[in-house]
Amino acid sequence: MQAAKATRLMLGLLFLVAALAAICLISLAVGARAIPIEGVWQALVAYDPNATEHRIIWDLRLPRTVVGLMVGAALGLSGAVLQGATRNPLADPSILGINAGAALAVVLGVSIFGISQLSSYVWLAFFGAGLTMLVVYAVASVGREGATPIKLALAGAALTAMLLSFSNAILLTSPRTLDEVRFWQVGSLAGRSMETVAQVSPFLLFGAVLALASARLLDGLSMGDDVARALGQRIGISRALAALAAVVLAGGATAATGPIAFVGLTIPHVARAITGPGYRWILPYSMLMAPILLLGSDVLGRIIAPPGEVQVGIVTAFVGAPFFIALVRRRKLTAL
């Protein structure tokens, strides 16, 4: 029985890989200037610098697609890790304020220090994401019950609202800062280059390896602290490693594209419905399904408002908000 389930889940992973490859080709083909799939393939295998379509793909759409792949995988993994580590079905980088903290740190860096390089964005985003997560957990831990799922969600929502109001106040009073980060602030894949890929990929790779390696720890934590201790886990160290993975992934993703909501919330729930409760499968499924959602949303944003486009952060919010409302309306927000 276990062997049959493992085979089924492995086939599911292969299907997701094929679906991800297909959405990547669509991402390369769709835009203000539609390019046939045959032309996309020709540009990839036999690049001609004199061909306009080839330059569009290599200079504009390929970096955008690669960034979407990396950021989507990072958001999916960070959401799954947070939900397992906190036993909170509402946990994700946007709900717990991590994205908003990273965004505020970047806005402050641009406004006060005049920072404009992505390499500096990354460190600011890490600092803001880590500090925000510590504050949310500290606030939620006040009281006899400790950091329950509902208290974490409420603390994260309250802090997110406060941080976003600070960011908006800075942007409204500083036209230079607004001009620098206006598209980044809503979450966008447009205008990204291979330099972006080179700058954030080491951080996202480290975070992904750490997240995937924490599957066994998350299985223990998701069953409760008492069970995890009985299995020999050191709860503090396990949660610290999971938090580090989530902060690195969410901070790097936010630095690259700006804050993108709901991807990390919705995808782990879909993955869990397919795979069951084991994080050995939830994590790779989330890592593959999230970029499919992100790139699909990006493609949708390019075609619904021609000749312009709707930024991907807006599209994912429209997709994820109904899911979040349905999740909140469930009678039991039980621990995962």
**What are the Cα distances from residue 170, in Å, to 65, 101, 167?**
31, 14, 5
**Average pLDDT value for residue range 154-173:** 89
Residue 335: inside a domain, yes or no?
A: no
Residue 147: inside a domain, yes or no?
A: yes
Residue 167: inside a domain, yes or no?
A: yes
- Between 329 and 188, the more confident residue is 188
Residue 131: inside a domain, yes or no?
A: yes
pLDDT in tens, 125-153: 888 988 998 898 888 888 776 666 678 77
**Average pLDDT value for residue range 49-76:** 93
Residue 336: inside a domain, yes or no?
A: no
**Domains contained in the chain, number:** 1
Confidence tier at 327 by pLDDT (50, 70, 90):
low
**Average pLDDT value for residue range 53-82:** 94
Cβ atoms of residues 90 and 333 within 8 Å: yes
The mean of the pLDDT values for the chain is: 86
pLDDT of residue 193: 86
**Average pLDDT value for residue range 262-272:** 91
Residue 333: inside a domain, yes or no?
A: no
Cβ atoms of residues 65 and 237 within 8 Å: no
Ramachandran assignment for 203, one of left (phi > 0), alpha (psi -120 to 50 degrees), beta (any other): alpha
Residue 83: inside a domain, yes or no?
A: yes
Confidence tier at 335 by pLDDT (50, 70, 90):
very low
* Closest alpha carbon to 89 in 134, 135, 156: 156
**Average pLDDT value for residue range 109-118:** 80
Tokens of residue 55, six digits: 């330059």
Residue 334: inside a domain, yes or no?
A: no
Beta strands in 54-206 (DSSP E): none
Q: Is the pLDDT of residue 334 over 50?
A: no
Confidence tier at 330 by pLDDT (50, 70, 90):
low
pLDDT of residue 81: 94
- Between 124 and 115, the more confident residue is 124
- Between 150 and 57, the more confident residue is 57
Q: Is the pLDDT of residue 16 over 90?
A: yes
CATH of the domain at 6: 1.10.3470.10
- What is the reported pTM? 0.88
Domain that holds residue 194: 2-328
Q: Is the pLDDT of residue 79 over 70?
A: yes
- Between 229 and 38, the more confident residue is 38
pLDDT of residue 283: 96
pLDDT of residue 226: 75
| CA atoms of 248 and 245, how far apart (whole Å) | 5
